[in-house]
């Protein structure tokens, strides 16, 4: 049996306001071909199918066209779980119809633990899949008025761990000898490497769990949320597949992946990473104005199917306005687009000391922006924890709607 693990498609995502539809279309087209050519039996998608809770008609068409086309391949089962970017209602709306096509979706936590567990059979081989979606705070933890950030985090973490423990206990009751068990999840595991395009699952790093918090009964844990493909706790069987294409300039410098799990005689025998195609070149170049222009010209000489996008990071001796003008002028005759020009340490330039830690608004989480606003207004949120509670509640409602 061959199982493919992927996640974090973020259909509808835009990079610096540029549509990434072409990358998304190309990836799904390649994925369909890979599944067909390599006789993949089960597809696991661990959350963040869409980039927003209300995806565009174009993004939904990409998603449903892919699912329809996949039914023409060898793939016997498709399991899709919701992520923190997904609206549970959007994922679950066609649940009954998709079930008839052996496409199983879990947009939110189920009322009963057993409803998150699937017993599947492929060519006479049995496998158990714990399809655990992104676990929202209000779905698994009872709120307590006036609790601190630390208390929220501790109780959420305990509820998160307990949920997987309950799943594991149920799996034990239905497990036959040598039947592999795979758990899915969309969360942040301690030690994972992040990029600027990710948001932690609650606020700050509350709710983080460790590799040892996953029950030992799971033969493989297919995770989503972090965009860099990686193992958790250096363990081969607990992995993030990562996003299949670049979602920010901070994701340059490594290959995007999908993960293939193979079973033999009802046991996992191999886990391997496979490179996903890079249909659009996204580069970050740095140095003096002249050095950056030289690097951009080098990118221009390469062959690319889609127009490359670049971020230019000028050294501290450059002037942003002048640098931007020179970079834009040079790029006019190049087959690429410069989406962003910044200084390496902008805050250290004379006259700009107060902006030493300045970030683009898109690099900040809503919670960070709220805290900064409170600080600017000299409002004591530490002394008024109920305000933070109210903000967290509003934030969760907004994310889900």
For 161-188, the pLDDT digits (tens) are 999 999 999 999 999 888 999 999 999 8
327 and 262 in a common domain = no
Domain shared by 193 and 291, yes or no: no
- Rounded Cα gap, residues 253 and 237, in angstroms: 24
Q: What is the pLDDT of residue 361?
A: 58
Nearest to 162 by CA among 197, 123, 214, 212: 214
What CA–CA distance (Å, rounded) separates 76 from 43?
A: 8
Dihedral sign of CA atoms 209, 150, 134, 131 in order: positive
Answer yes or no: do 144 and 24 share one domain.
yes
Biggest CA–CA distance in the chain, Å, is 71
If asked whether residues 126 and 254 sit together in one domain, one would say yes
Based on the domain organization, do 221 and 286 belong to the same domain? no
Of the pLDDT bands very low, low, confident and very high (cuts 50, 70, 90), residue 357 is very low
Q: What is the CATH number of the domain that holds 157?
A: 3.60.21.10
Tens-digit pLDDT profile for residues 265-295:
888 999 999 999 999 999 999 999 999 999 9
Q: φ, ψ for residue 148 (rounded to 5)? A: -80, 170
Residues 393, 262 share a domain: no
Q: What is the pTM of this model?
A: 0.83
- Residue 172 and residue 236 in one domain: yes
Cα gap 358→116, rounded to integer Å: 43
Total of domains in the chain: 2
* Confidence label for 356 from pLDDT (cuts 50, 70 and 90): very low
pLDDT for 362 equals: 55
* Residue with the two structure tokens 């005759």: 333
SS3 271: strand
Question: What is the CATH number for 368?
Answer: 3.30.160.720
On whether the CB atoms of residues 182 and 130 are closer than 8 A, the answer is yes
Question: Where does a domain end: 227, 245, 275?
Answer: 275
Residue 191 has pLDDT above 90, yes or no: no
- From 61, 75, 365, select the one nearest 206 (Cα to Cα): 365
| 170 & 300 share domain | no
Stretch 356-364: mean pLDDT, rounded? 53
60-110 pLDDT, tens per residue?
A: 999 999 999 999 999 999 999 999 999 999 999 999 999 999 999 999 999
Domain boundary among 275, 309, 329: 275
* pLDDT tens figures, 122-155: 988 999 999 999 998 888 877 666 666 667 677 8
| pLDDT over threshold 50, residue 349 | no
Crossing angle between the packed helical segments 289-301 and 320-331, to the nearest 10 degrees: 20
| Residues 91 and 195 placed together within one structural domain of the fold | yes
Q: Which domain holds residue 362?
A: 282-400
Domain boundary among 247, 275, 303: 275
The rounded distance, in Å, linking the Cα atoms of 98 and 78 is 9
Segment holding 228, helix H or strand E: none
- Say whether both 187 and 320 belong to one domain: no
Rg (CA), the chain: 23
> Is 332 in the same domain as 242?
no
Using DSSP's 3-state secondary structure scheme, residue 182 falls into: strand
Length in residues, the chain? 401
Cα–Cα distances in angstroms (integers) from residue 196 to residues 55, 200, 209, 317, in the given order: 21, 11, 20, 26
Quick one: pLDDT at residue 399?
56
Q: How many CB atoms lie within 10 A of CB 226?
A: 23
- Do 264 and 330 lie in one domain? The reply is no
């Amino acid at each position: 049996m061959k199982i493919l693990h992927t996640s974090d498609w973020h259909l509808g995502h835009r990079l610096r306001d540029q549509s990434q539809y072409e990358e998304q279309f190309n990836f799904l087209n390649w994925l369909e071909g890979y599944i067909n050519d390599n006789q993949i039996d089960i597809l696991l998608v661990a959350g963040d199918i869409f980039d927003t809770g209300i995806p565009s008609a174009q993004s939904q068409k990409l998603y449903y066209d892919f699912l329809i086309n996949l039914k023409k391949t060898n793939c016997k089962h498709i399991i899709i779980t919701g992520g923190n970017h997904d609206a549970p209602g959007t994922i679950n709306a066609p649940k009954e119809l998709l079930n008839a096509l052996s496409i199983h979706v879990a947009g939110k936590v189920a009322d009963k633990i057993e409803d998150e567990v699937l017993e599947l059979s492929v060519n006479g081989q049995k496998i158990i899949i714990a399809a655990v979606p992104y676990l929202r705070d209000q779905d698994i933890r009872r709120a307590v008025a006036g609790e601190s950030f630390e208390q929220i985090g501790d109780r959420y973490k305990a509820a998160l761990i307990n949920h997987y423990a309950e799943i594991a206990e149920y799996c034990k009751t239905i497990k036959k000898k040598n039947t592999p068990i795979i758990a899915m999840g969309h969360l942040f595991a301690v030690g994972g490497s992040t990029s600027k395009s990710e948001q932690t699952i609650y606020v700050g790093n509350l709710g983080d769990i460790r590799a040892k918090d996953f029950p030992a009964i799971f033969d493989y844990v297919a995770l989503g949320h972090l965009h860099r493909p990686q193992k958790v706790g250096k363990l081969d069987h607990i992995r993030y597949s990562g996003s299949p294409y670049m979602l920010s300039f901070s994701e340059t410098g490594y290959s995007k992946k999908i993960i293939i799990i193979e079973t033999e005689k009802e046991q996992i025998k191999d886990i391997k990473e496979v490179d996903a195609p890079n249909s659009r070149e996204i580069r970050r170049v740095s140095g003096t104005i002249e050095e950056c222009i030289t690097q951009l010209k080098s990118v221009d000489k390469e062959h690319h199917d889609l127009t490359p996008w670049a971020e230019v990071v000028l050294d501290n001796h450059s002037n942003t306005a002048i640098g931007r003008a020179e970079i834009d002028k040079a790029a006019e005759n190049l087959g690429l687009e410069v989406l962003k020009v910044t200084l390496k340490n902008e805050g250290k330039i004379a006259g700009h000391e107060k902006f030493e830690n300045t970030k683009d608004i898109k690099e900040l989480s809503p919670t960070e922006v709220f805290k900064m606003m409170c600080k600017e207004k000299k409002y004591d949120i530490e002394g008024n924890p109920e305000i933070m509670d109210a903000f967290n509640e509003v934030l969760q409602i907004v994310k889900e709607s």
